[in-house]
Amino acid sequence: MLRLVRLAARNLARYWRRTLLTSGLMVLGLVAVLLFVSVSGSFQRLIVGQITDAMLGHLQVHARGYVASIDNLPLNLNMKPDTVAAVERALGETPGVAAWSPRLKFGAMFSNYTETTSIRLNGVLPAREAATVPLLPGRLLERGSAPALLEPGGILVPEILARGMGLAVGDPVVLVATNLDGSVNGKTFTVAGVLGDVTGPGGRDGYVHLDDARALLRLEQPEVSEIAVRLSDPDALAATRARLVRALAGHGAPLEVHTWEGLSPFANIARMIDVLDVFIRVLLVGIVLIAVMNVMIMAVYERIREIGTIAAIGTRPRRILGLFVYEGLLLGLIGAAVGTVVSLILVWLLNLYPVHFTFGRDQALVLAPTLAPVDVLAIAGIVVLVAAAASLQPAWKAARMDPIEALRRV
Amino acid sequence: MPLITAQGLSKTYRTGDIEVQALRGVDFTIEPGAFAAFVGPSGSGKSTVLNLIGCLDKPSAGRLTVLGTDVAALDRAAAAAFRGTHLGFIFQDFNLIPVLTACENIEYPLLMVQDWPEARRRARVTELLEAVGMGPQARKRPDQLSGGQKQRVAVARALATHAQLVIADEPTANLDHATAQRIIALMKRMRDEYGTAFLFSTHDPRIMAAAEAIYALEDGRLVAPTPSVALAHA
């Protein structure tokens, strides 16, 4: 084998300009794919991180039908205490669950005594909410001096509302909410902080303490609307969801477990990026296939007499086939090796000189492209394999060549 | 046992609707260690005979035995193996592999065709380089060699595997007079030293003069069967 590889390498060196051009084309294709994969992967991770860690969590558990009616924030579809306890038991027993936070979601009228508007609110336990969506404290554009994220009697107001109504931290406001029985209740709160918006559902909601929410809604028992769940490994989303669904199956109340992908429209953008990723890989396969096949067809055409000679002196067809396949394989290896090195350097440079961008109202997001070894190996492997495959047809033609016809070629 | 036996050897080519009879029932016998030439005008069938003997082509009719093997019965891979084991080839245009040096060209059939171990290979290459007087040019590539030097390397390559028969198609056609004479002398010396038979297809009177048997072909028929050295010198 080594002797064939050596001879193949010499033949590539003989036509070094052509080898350089073909390898260059493969390097270009591979760099384009690896850069796209690293940058799009970084973009996806960043945005998904923003969505899951600042508001949604990775999973959410609701009573059946709640999400379908979530625009109305229906109080009658809240989970009852025994259901909540069962869900919490299941969460505690499910591997991969890092934290969870019960939320009581409701709509209310929001007044600063001169103006009134509507607001969507989450009643939360601040410490558990911060453990489940750890970027929430980072969304605070303004906050009071209290060390806790939110204390009873306080409200975190979305930025758009605070700006529109001229509110600052410490200002008093009134929330008026309709209870489940149709009666109305009001309660005074103090602005404890102003929250920056995040892209996606619930990104412009306000927050109050769970106890305050229950008091405002005059709930007789500690109900919750949803339980947001944080996973220790976000990549194990589907598996963890399946485990949780199985764990909840024994419980009597009908429940739904949604992933962030089912709740956020960004999941479609993420899927689109994945499709683009596949397309660009197919493009790479096309580039390598055409480039290598073209160069190997030329190589066979130009060396017909040489093929005739080695066939005449007894080289077996299998070895002639091997000689040309190794030439294609070596071309692929050169392209893959150089392309990988260039890509790694470019990714390193992109981390050294980071690219900033905005997504929706999220400002100054920083791309931090990385390349997973599995992606590098898979894409470089595609190049090498396709290069070898592309040389098969010309190699087969060379191996099957009639020595007499080949030797006659001028 | 004769080196080659041909009985009623015929070869017909078909080009479109036209049928060309290159050989028409030729009979001949060639003994081991022969230094013989097939001669005749273009289209007489001399290259066809060499292609058949060299297992590069198959007869349309008749029987051809080379070294006791019915070569018409060999399939593609077996024919390649037979050529690699028993035959050597010398071409008009030398046909050295351009990316290999002189010694690597000689080594090629030992390495790529017969898988000889390295030490044995090296010894054989050195022996042949000395035998054909190419020791000082061993590391040169074909494009750094003269025509005569290239043909010396080709002779050494043809002999590398201890071939019992070397088939040489117009080996002096691209050489000047003096070089051609030296190459003919070299091939004859190689025949004498190694006992390898040389079979030529040629127009070259110098080869005809050196040949110990001449087989003259015309329109695919042997017109001077089993001629002698005297005929060649006539």
pLDDT, tens digit, for every residue of B148-181? 899 999 999 998 998 999 999 988 888 888 888 8
What is the percentage of chain A residues whose pLDDT exceeds 90? 49
Whether residue A67 is predicted with pLDDT greater than 80 in this model: the reply is yes
Q: B3: number of CA atoms within 13 Å, CB side?
A: 21
Tell me the range of A206-220, A255-269, A274-288 where mean pLDDT is highest.
Answer: A206-220
Reported as a pLDDT band with limits 50, 70 and 90, residue A122 is very high
Could A310 and B97 be called an inter-chain contact, meaning their C-beta atoms sit closer than 8 Å? Answer: yes
Is residue B83 less than 8 Å (CB to CB) from chain A? yes
Torsion on CA atoms A311, A314, A320, A322, rounded to nearest 10? 180
Q: Pairing between strand A206-209 and A356-359?
A: unpaired
Residues 6+ apart with CB under 8 A from A67: A60, A256, A258, A263
Of A305, A315, A407, the CB nearest to B112: A315
pLDDT for the residue B140: 94
pLDDT: is A57 or A361 the higher one?
Answer: A57
Residue A93 falls in which region: left (phi positive, over 0), alpha (psi -120 to 50) or beta:
alpha
Is B132 strand, coil or helix? coil
pLDDT for the residue A174: 95
pLDDT for the residue B233: 35
Reported as a pLDDT band with limits 50, 70 and 90, residue B182 is confident
Across chain B, mean pLDDT equals 88
Helix residue ranges, H only, A168-303: 210-216, 237-248, 260-263, 266-302
On chain A, the residues whose CB falls within 8 A of the CB of B100 are 7, 10
Is A355 strand, coil or helix? coil
The complex's ipTM works out to 0.87
Report how many Cβ contacts below 8 Å link chain A to chain B.
70
Whether residue A264 is predicted with pLDDT greater than 80 in this model: the reply is yes
Mean pLDDT over A1-24 rounds to: 86
Could A315 and B93 be called an inter-chain contact, meaning their C-beta atoms sit closer than 8 Å? Answer: no
Whether residue A202 is predicted with pLDDT greater than 70 in this model: the reply is no
Across chain A, mean pLDDT equals 89
Reported as a pLDDT band with limits 50, 70 and 90, residue A62 is very high
Whether residue A126 is predicted with pLDDT greater than 60 in this model: the reply is yes
Is residue A378 less than 8 Å (CB to CB) from chain B? no
Of A312, A316, A317, the CB nearest to B89: A312
Is residue A276 less than 8 Å (CB to CB) from chain B? no
* A328 CA: distance to closest CA in chain B (Å): 17
Reported as a pLDDT band with limits 50, 70 and 90, residue A139 is confident
Is residue B112 less than 8 Å (CB to CB) from chain A? yes
On chain B, the residues whose CB falls within 8 A of the CB of A410 are none
On chain B, the residues whose CB falls within 8 A of the CB of A313 are 83-84, 88-89, 108-109, 113, 157-158
Could A313 and B88 be called an inter-chain contact, meaning their C-beta atoms sit closer than 8 Å? Answer: yes
Mean pLDDT over A79-85 rounds to: 92
pLDDT for the residue B231: 38
pLDDT for the residue A363: 63
Is residue B57 less than 8 Å (CB to CB) from chain A? yes
pLDDT: is A269 or A186 the higher one?
Answer: A186
Domains of chain B: 32-59+74-233 (3.40.50.300)
Of B95, B99, B161, the CB nearest to A309: B95
Is residue A314 less than 8 Å (CB to CB) from chain B? yes
Could A310 and B108 be called an inter-chain contact, meaning their C-beta atoms sit closer than 8 Å? Answer: yes
pLDDT: is A203 or B132 the higher one?
Answer: B132
Whether residue B232 is predicted with pLDDT greater than 70 in this model: the reply is no
Mean pLDDT over A53-72 rounds to: 90
Whether residue B84 is predicted with pLDDT greater than 50 in this model: the reply is yes
A406 touches A302 (CB < 8 A): no
Q: What is the DSSP string of A27-95?
A: HHHHHHHHHHHHHHHHHHHHHHHHHIIIII-SEEEEETTTGGGGGG--GGGPBPHHHHHHHHHHHHHST
What is the percentage of chain B residues whose pLDDT exceeds 70? 95
* Least confident window among A105-109, A352-356, B212-216: A352-356
* A311 CA: distance to closest CA in chain B (Å): 7
Summarised one tens digit per residue, pLDDT across range B37-49 is: 999 888 889 889 9
Whether residue B227 is predicted with pLDDT greater than 50 in this model: the reply is no
Whether residue B230 is predicted with pLDDT greater than 50 in this model: the reply is no
* B100 CA: distance to closest CA in chain A (Å): 8
